[in-house]
Structure 1
């Protein structure tokens, strides 16, 4: 199986990047395509710029999704919403194909330093993504990242068990 995974952040030190990398370790027999949103940087979407055509980076993002059997996305939260980097890619990609996520099975993750674990952006994604071809199978939020995550692992036993169960539920639906 080919799984495309990414953190919806353009930070080189993204905690959501660390979480998505951990999640991919649960798929040792699958081909993982770990995207870096910095590879898809393009002008900020506007109707005026859209008249000039969809940037090649949006086409490349859509192609990566199309070539996948499943998606794992860890959503970073900025001011209670999607990061600007992800939202811009999402906006451009949807100009080319409204069904950005192409009905691929999705595992959505989120984390933050705070207690809510970026659950606000996770809820937004759960509400919005189905309109764009998002087939959300499972989701998981890790609060208090710096207290619960060390050395590329979740150290809180309850949270680790919850992530393991969430990923197993996702696998059961693939």
Structure 2
């Protein structure tokens, strides 16, 4: 049984990416999934001055340790102005300072969603190129466009084609664990 860490790249209390991660985690039956709501992980904006004066918070070190221990990671990144959110960028900045390769040899299922037709593709593409710098192996990716139309909290992904593509990407990720 593998240990999977799942979270969204958003710290919004109404994050649709967190809804997608939560739904994805609910589909996994043969592994242990630790689902994190990043609302509970506030971090100051990274700066070398702040780091020098204050060091690393316990929650940052614990998150890094959870990432290092995980056999696989599921992340759904949100998009702001065609790129990952400042929160997610800040999170990776902090994590990389604690340990540069905080995702060393870790299979990652990378997702994104938005209410637009591109489904967060800008943030997904950027993140897919950046995570390997931290040691990640992005095994599968999935974009869910038009979240308000294609996702229902009670049912999950309501489009049969998108649900199938999501399940195939998830199975590809699970096959690497």
TM-score (norm 2): 0.93
Asked whether the equivalents of residues 13 and 39 of structure 2 are also in contact (C-alpha less than 8 Å), the reply is: no
Partner of 2:163: 160
Identify which of 83, 86, 94 aligns with 1:84. 86
For 2:176 and 2:109, locate their aligned partners in 1 and report how far apart those are by CA, in whole Å: 11
Partner of 1:17: 18
Partner of 1:136: 138
C-alpha change, 1:67 and 1:13, in structure 2 (3 Å) is same
Q: Determine helix, strand or coil for the equivalent of 2:80.
A: coil
TM-score (norm 1): 0.95
* Structure 2 gap ranges (5+): none
Structure 1 residue 133, shift from structure 2 partner: 1.0
Asked whether the equivalents of residues 40 and 89 of structure 1 are also in contact (C-alpha less than 8 Å), the reply is: no
Asked whether the equivalents of residues 54 and 95 of structure 1 are also in contact (C-alpha less than 8 Å), the reply is: no
Aligned residues: 174
Asked whether the equivalents of residues 8 and 74 of structure 1 are also in contact (C-alpha less than 8 Å), the reply is: yes
C-alpha change, 1:50 and 1:152, in structure 2 (3 Å) is farther
Asked whether the equivalents of residues 9 and 16 of structure 1 are also in contact (C-alpha less than 8 Å), the reply is: yes
Structure 1 residue 42, shift from structure 2 partner: 2.1
For 2:88 and 2:38, locate their aligned partners in 1 and report how far apart those are by CA, in whole Å: 7
Structure 1 residue 172, shift from structure 2 partner: 1.9
1:40-92 per-residue CA deviation (whole Å, 9 max, x = no partner) reads 21221011112122222221110110221110001111112222222222111
Two-structure CA RMSD over aligned residues (Å): 1.2
Structure 1 residue 152, shift from structure 2 partner: 4.2
Runs of 4+ in structure 1 over 6 Å off: none
Asked whether the equivalents of residues 4 and 64 of structure 1 are also in contact (C-alpha less than 8 Å), the reply is: yes
Q: Determine helix, strand or coil for the equivalent of 1:117.
A: coil
For 1:82 and 1:60, locate their aligned partners in 2 and report how far apart those are by CA, in whole Å: 23
